[in-house]
Amino acid sequence: MDSDATRGRVLLEESRESVVVLDDDDRVLSASRRARQSIDGLREGERIPEGLLSGDAGIIPLVVPYDVGGRRERLVYLSRGGDLTAYEELRTGFTAAVSHELRTPLARLLSLLEMATLPGENVTELVEQARGEVGQIRELIDEVLFLSELESGSRVVSLGAVAVRPELEAVADELGERASRAGVALVVEGDATIELEIRPRMLRVVAQNLAENAIRYAGPGATFTLAIERDGADVILRGTDDGVGVGEAELGRLFERFYRADRARASRGTGLGLAIVKHIVTQAGGTVEAHGGLGAGLEIRCAFAGRERISG
């Protein structure tokens, strides 16, 4: 029975939906992480915020009553009106974007293979270029699948506390040679004692994508800094470069899937790196912002609130 109870708590906590368990007096017995993060005023042990059960708050409740140990409880699923329509629109747009992004490397690959059949061509060089195109396609597919797993809940983001700086340093070491070839210096700063409630793998993905974004786009001679620091009760993870920067009008779109600023349109990147960063940070209870401007570098600021909001 204890194992069943534990399993039930984990299933509720990690649900991708906003789910709440209520007693007969409308008091919150437990709630999923998503519900706690997305619904203001929702606290265990207190009455559910006014309007949530009636639908007056713009949230549609689906109530499932049941009995446990002679007590009457209710499992309540909370969704916003239009969520399904918005999801379908997003799914359709995402599919179209993936198809579009695959066409370019596939077209280049086909062209290279056709050139390799012509007399007098350097077949070895063309095959190496073709390998690069295959690598680009594989990277895109891997990142699309990773993002899909994040959204489906197959990959858990928050699971125990991890010291942040050692993970940042591991990423900087791993990318050091690549950054050197691009003329970008990598620096890690911050308090080695700071921890976050996030899986080490997910933290490394965030740091790696931030660093790779700078390596691709900051430009030769730039310095990219990964820093972890406290700001009051919050923990801030910053990725900052002093490179060519991004136009202020484009800052708000950097986290869109497949979006590339004008200076990055010729890049071989997938256009998914910062979208993945935003998704992981959001699922860990944080927020992400971009700051900078043309000639002023770029800062990606990931803010995580107190541990009670992001604990796993």
Q: What is the pLDDT of residue 134?
A: 83
Residues of the chain with CATH 3.30.450.20: 2-80
Residues of the chain with CATH 3.30.565.10: 158-310
CATH 3.30.565.10 correct for 158-310? yes
Sign of CA dihedral 29, 35, 37, 38: negative
What string of H, E and C letters represents the secondary structure of 273-301? HHHHHHHHHHHCCEEEEEEECCCCCEEEE
Which amino acid is present at 241? D
3-class secondary structure, 16: coil
Q: What is the pLDDT of residue 96?
A: 55
CATH of domain 2-80: 3.30.450.20
If 0-12 CB within 10 Å is exposed, 13-18 middle and 19+ buried, where does residue 118 land? exposed
Q: What is the pLDDT of residue 201?
A: 80
If 0-12 CB within 10 Å is exposed, 13-18 middle and 19+ buried, where does residue 270 land? buried
Q: What is the pLDDT of residue 4?
A: 57
Q: Which residues of the chain have pLDDT under 50?
A: 1, 86-87, 90, 154, 262-266, 307-312
Phi/psi at 271 (nearest 5 deg)? 80, 10
Q: What is the pLDDT of residue 308?
A: 39
CATH topology of domain 83-151: Helix Hairpins (1.10.287)
Structure tokens given for 85: 């329509």
**Helices 83-116 and 123-152, interaxial angle, to 10°?**
170
Residues of the chain with CATH 1.10.287.130: 83-151
pTM value? 0.54
